[in-house]
Structure 1
C-alpha cells in the first residue's frame, strides 16, 4: 500500500481550509480558474455512496465486473451530465462497473480523499482542479497518467496541446484534462453602436480598453467591470508573457518565490485601478456573478468571464442586445503570451488494485472520446479537450447557435505555449490566490499603492511556498 506523506497531509490541511473560500475559488460558486457553468449548489448526483462495493461473483460463474469509484466536485447539471456519461459507459460493456459520486466542493472532496487513503475506502479516480496540480503530484498518491499512455501506446495528438501543456510536469502527463475553460472578454454590441464604437472591432489593448470605456461611460452605463479574482490577474499576466512564480512558473524546478509583484503585474494593477479611479470601471467585488448580472442589465459594456459561462451570458441578454466576444486585452508592448486553461482533470490513485487502475484508464479513455467530449461540451459549456469533437454534428450545431464560442477556441489555438501560458504550479495556490485578491482590494480601495499591495502579497506567498517546500522535502 502506498501512503501519502503524513507531514504533507498535516501541512496541507491548513491550505485546504483556506481553499474553502476560494473558488475552476470565489463566492460565485464556481472555480476562480475556469469554473462550472450553472452549477446548482447543493444539487448532487443520484449516488450517495462513499466507497465502491466489493465485487461479487456473477451468476452462472461469469467473472464479476471490475468496480471503479470516481469522486468529483461537479454539482447540479454538471454532476447529472457526468452521471449520464457513466451510464453510457456501463451500458457499453460488461467488464467494468463505474460509480460516480459527488463529494461536495473541491476542497471537501480532497479532504475526504486524504482521509480515505490508509483504509483504501476512497476512489480510484479523483477529479482535482487545476490549482491542485502540484499538490496531487507531491502527495505521491497517484499513478501518473503517462504510465498508462506509454503502456497503451496511446495517441495524444488528438488532444488540444495547449490543454495538455498545463497538466504536464517534467515531461510527464500526471492527469488527464477533463473540464477545461479559459477567460475571454464579453461586450455589448448595442452599447458599442450607441457609443459610436465599431461593434465588430473590440478593443485589443489596455489603451484601447480605456478609450472604449470612456466612450461607453454615459447615461447610466459604465465602461467595464471585472471581478476581483486572482485568476483575472494570472490571465492578464500570462497574456503578456509574464509568470506568477519563479523557476519557470514552478515548471523548470519547484517554485521558491512569488513574482506577483513584477513590473508587468504592477503595471496591470495600476491600469485596473486607474479605470476604477476614473469611474470608467465599476468595482463590484469578488463575485463574478455580480459582474454578469450588471452586464445582463446593461449597466456595463465590457466584462471578463470564463468560457464555461458563455451560454449563460448570451442567454441572459434575452434578445435585448447582441453579445460580442473577443480575446483578452494586453499592453501595447506585451511579449508573446496567451491564456492559461482553467478547470480540472482526472487522476488515478495508486492505493487501489492494479486491475481497478487499468479499468479506470479504460473509463477515462471513454470519457475523453470525441463523442463523449461533444456531449460534455454541449451540456456544460466546457471545451472539448479532443480536436475531433469539433467535427461532431452536435458541436457544429452548437457553434451555429452560439458563434461567440469560436472566440474561445481561436484564443486557445492562438496561445503560444511557454512557461507563462502553461500556468503556475505551486502547492499553496489556494492561499496565494487569496493573498492576491486581498492585494487587489487594498489597491482599488486606496489602502495601499498597487506596488505596495503586490509587494506584500509576494512576500507572504513566498513564505508559504518555502514552508510547503520544507514539508515535502523540496
Structure 2
C-alpha cells in the first residue's frame, strides 16, 4: 500500500502545481483585459508601456473605387497613430446613410463620425446630435485660412462651421472629342451657352448616337438656377432666416426646363428619364456625345473609356448673360456629441489628417473631387496628374472662377432630400409632356413648401 501511495502522490502534486499556475494565469489574463477595457496602460512583450487606443467609427457613402480610396486614407492614418484606430464603414448612398444615422440618434449604436451630403446640413444642425466643428477649431486655434473658403463657407451657418468639408465637387459638361471631330465641331471648344449646346447636340445626333443625355437630377436644376444668380429658397437661401419657400419655380427655373424640353422635343437629347448613372454608362459606351455629371465621376469615366476615345470636359452650361456662379456639392464630416470627449477629439485628429495637403492630393487625384486644402494644388502628385489628365483642371478652373454669393453658397432647409425627389418628378413630368415646365415646377414647389412648413413647425 505504501508503494502505491507514493506512486499516486507524485502526479497529484504535479496536478496541484498545474492548477495553481492555471489560476494565476487566468487571474493575470482577467486583470490584463480589464486594464485594457479601463483604458489604462499595459505592457507589451518588451515590457514597454502601450498607449490607450481610442476607436473612431466613421460612417461614409463612398462606394466602389472611391471607397477604396477612403480605405487607403484610413490605413494611412492608422499607420501613424498608435493611440487611435479609425474604422470606416460604408453605409450605402447618401440618402440611405442619412436615414441610418437618423435611426441611430439617441442610441449608442451610431458612429463617432459621419459623412453627410451637403443637403443634410440643416437637418444635422437641428438634430442637436452633433458637436460643431467650430468648437474644436477654437480650442486649438486651428488655422482655417488653409482651407478653400468657398467650400468651407458652404457649411457655415450663422457664422459657425458645423462640419468639416471632405469631398467637394461641382457639375461639368463631359463630351466625346472624337464625335465632335466627326460632326465638324471644334473638339477643343466645348459649348458653354444654352444655344451652343443645342446646336452642337443637333449636329451630333446621327449614326445611331445621341447628341446629349442629361440625367434627371435636381442638382442640375439647382446649378442652372444658381448660375443665373438666383437663390433656391427665400431669406438668403435660408442663411439669413428660416427658409419658408422653395423658389425653383421662378422664371430662372422655368427658362432652364423649357430649354431642356426643347432639346428633347427636337430629338437632340435622349428623352428617357434616367438618372446620371445611366447617362454616364451611355457616354462610356459611345452612345451619346454630351452628358452632365459631377467632377467625382471623372476618374470612373476615364477608366471606363480606357482610351477608346478622347474625353473632354467643359464648364456647366448657362444662358448668355448669366453672372451667377456654380455651387459646391459633395459632403462633409460631422462629429456626434453622444460620444466621449476622448472619442470626439480622436475624430477631430482624423479630420485634420485627411484635410492635410498630402492626403487631399491623393484623394483628388484618385477620385476627381477637388481639394478642400489650397496647398494640395502645390503637391507634385496633383501637378503630375494635371499634366497627364488635363480634364481634372476644368473643375478647378470653374470652381476658382465662381464668385461667392448667397446663390452659390447653396440653400439650407431641413427637407432638402424630399425637395430633390419632388423636383426630379417635376422634371420628368415636363420632359414627358404631362405638364408644362411652369405647371410641373409650380406643383413641386407647392408640395415642397408644405413639407417645409411641417418641418419648421417642429423646431
TM-score range, shorter chain: 0.7 to 0.9
Q: 1:262 aligns with which of 240, 247, 250?
A: 250
- Shift in CA distance, 56/239, structure 1 to aligned 2, threshold 3 Å: same
Query: 1:110 maps to what in 2?
Result: 98
Which is higher, the Rg of structure 1 or of structure 2? 2
Deviation at 1:272, TM superposition (A): 0.3
Query: 2:436 maps to what in 1?
Result: 449
- Shift in CA distance, 283/463, structure 1 to aligned 2, threshold 3 Å: same
- Does the 8 Å contact 1:284/1:291 carry over to 2? no
User: For the residues of structure 1 that align with 2:194 and 2:200, how far apart are their CA atoms?
Assistant: 10
- Does the 8 Å contact 1:229/1:286 carry over to 2? no
Please list every run of 5 or more consecutive structure 2 residues that lacks an aligned counterpart in the other structure: 1-35, 44-48
Q: Does 1:58 align with 2:34?
A: no
- Shift in CA distance, 253/198, structure 1 to aligned 2, threshold 3 Å: same
* SS across alignment from 2:331: strand
* SS across alignment from 2:145: coil
Deviation at 1:284, TM superposition (A): 3.0
Query: 1:390 maps to what in 2?
Result: 377
Q: 1:328 aligns with which of 316, 319, 328?
A: 316
- Shift in CA distance, 108/441, structure 1 to aligned 2, threshold 3 Å: closer
Query: 1:86 maps to what in 2?
Result: 74
Post-superposition CA distance 1:93-141 (Å, at most 9, x none): 3332322222333344334433444333422211111111110001011
Q: How many residues align?
A: 419
* SS across alignment from 1:436: helix
Query: 1:133 maps to what in 2?
Result: 121
List aligned pairs for 1:310-349, cutoff 5 A: 310-334=298-322, 336-349=323-336
Deviation at 1:90, TM superposition (A): 2.1
Q: 1:175 aligns with which of 131, 140, 163?
A: 163
- Does the 8 Å contact 2:223/2:327 carry over to 1? yes
- Does the 8 Å contact 1:55/1:65 carry over to 2? no
User: For the residues of structure 1 that align with 2:253 and 2:329, how far apart are their CA atoms?
Assistant: 20
- Shift in CA distance, 217/113, structure 1 to aligned 2, threshold 3 Å: closer
Deviation at 1:311, TM superposition (A): 2.0
Deviation at 1:360, TM superposition (A): 1.4
- Does the 8 Å contact 2:225/2:248 carry over to 1? no
Q: TM-score, normalised by structure 2?
A: 0.87
Post-superposition CA distance 1:284-324 (Å, at most 9, x none): 32321221222233332211111111122233333332211
Post-superposition CA distance 1:159-214 (Å, at most 9, x none): 11221121111111110011121110011222222222222222111111122222
Q: 1:279 aligns with which of 263, 267, 276?
A: 267
Query: 2:419 maps to what in 1?
Result: 432
User: For the residues of structure 2 that align with 1:255 and 1:364, how far apart are their CA atoms?
Assistant: 30
